[in-house]
Amino acid sequence: MKSIQIFSSALVGLLFLSAQLTAQVDMTWDTHRVGFKVPRGFKIDTNNAEEFSAGNDNVYLTIAPIQDETITTDDLAEVVDAMVKEMDYDLITDGDAVDVNNFTGYYARGSKDGADALVMALLDPESATNLIVVVIYSGDYEDAALTTVNSFYSY
């Protein structure tokens, strides 16, 4: 009976540790008043008016603004397709329109040199600041990448 209690305690401890390691934390890019969730351990590399980039060993996020109030939702697929071509991805697996909190957007998923990526354009209906978001991730971290791109909000 004691061994079952020890096993149960160890299992609960492992589950707690696993949840802590995979938990998402809030991060913001105050320059453009946008927030999102990222995996624990993200380190900011660049944070200025032209770019925000941060990451860890498994997931890397880059955001760039597009200051253009004439962009419409009809333009987003073209913007993403142009970005994916410019980044020279080998395989584009899918792409579609998305609604992320108060943003509308379009994404494409691709891979290059063994790394997977989500490329997304987000249109902020409240301002002229629109965003290009690129999340590069290793295959086992797709859930973390999806959580990040689905967590964007403006404030």
CA separation for the pair 142, 144 (Å, rounded) = 5
**In CATH, what number is assigned to the domain containing residue 122?**
3.40.1000.10
**What's the pLDDT at 112?**
85
Q: Give the bridge partners for 26, in sequence order.
A: 37
* 114 domain residue, yes or no: yes
DSSP letter (8 states) at residue 127: S
Domain enclosing residue 127, as ranges: 24-154
Number of compact structural domains in the chain: 1
Per-residue pLDDT of the chain (155 residues; tens, 9 = 90+): 554 554 444 444 434 434 444 579 999 999 999 999 999 999 999 999 999 999 999 999 999 998 877 888 888 888 898 888 888 887 677 889 999 998 999 999 988 888 899 999 999 877 778 999 999 999 899 999 999 999 999 98
* 101 domain residue, yes or no: yes
Q: Are 118 and 147 in contact (CB under 8 A)?
A: no
* 51 domain residue, yes or no: yes
Q: Are 123 and 105 in contact (CB under 8 A)?
A: yes
* 6 domain residue, yes or no: no
* 8 domain residue, yes or no: no
* 3 domain residue, yes or no: no
pTM above 0.85, yes or no: no
> What single letter denotes the amino acid at residue 146?
L
Query: Could you tell me the two tokens for 19?
Result: 């949840």
* 134 domain residue, yes or no: yes
CB neighbours of 69 closer than 8 A, spacing ≥ 6?
A: 128
* 76 domain residue, yes or no: yes
